[in-house]
Amino acid sequence: MRPTPAQLRALARRDPALGRVLRSVPAFPGFPEGAQSVQRSHFHALARAIVYQQLAGAAARTIHDRVVALTPGRGFPRPDEVLALPDEALRGAGLSRAKLAALRDLAGKVESGELRLRSIGRRSDEEVVAQLTTVRGIGEWSAQMFLLFRLGRLDVMPSGDLGVQEGLRRLDGLTERPTPKQVLERSEPWRPLRSVASWALWRLVDLDELPG
């Protein structure tokens, strides 16, 4: 989902400093982005997030691809297939015990109907976070990333994200990174486009200097 030009102009008027950043960084692309992301199921997106946690990209991709290879076809194993695979096979693919437990918990909740991913896009942001964080290994940050990058929600503010905190420190010329509470308070003028502001803060961290 993409914001309208009028919404972006209004955001820049509410926060001129952020507006200067928005003019200097790549345009907010809207999400989900790319054919691969669109084709990936909600279950696969969440399972992939679990696999990739706290790992470098290359190592995570290797483990992910090994798990994919455990079942026929090119796609990630379905929830019922994950539950049917023996622990030894999943551990052999490189999953840690914690990630194995998280992946099985996710698959079990989807299979039982406790977590209804087909209809989750019709839920409010708060409801999505509440549902996803019942799954072992999925915390608030992971749920917020799902909201932003998978469901394309425009008003997500991951206040605990270090990149967002560092971007806001640079934006406001602070000596220290703001706390999550301070980020939330500062982000109020950015509603209903806090996802766009988050994107800008992440990109700001990539810049050598503040835009003039």
Which residues carry out catalysis? 161
Report the distance separating Cα 206 and Cα 93, nearest Å. Answer: 34
Q: How far is CA 107 from the centre of its chain?
A: 19
Question: Cβ–Cβ contacts within 10 Å for residue 1, how many?
Answer: 12
Q: Which residues of 72-105 are buried (b: 16+ CB within 10 A; e: fewer)?
A: eeeebbbbeebeebeeeebeebbbeeebbebbbb
Coil, helix or strand at residue 102: helix
Sign (positive/negative) of CA torsion 154, 157, 161, 163? positive
Nearest to 123 by CA among 92, 153, 100: 153
Report the distance separating Cα 147 and Cα 123, nearest Å. Answer: 10
Residue 203 to residues 112, 174, 186: CA-CA distances in angstroms?
Answer: 40, 17, 18
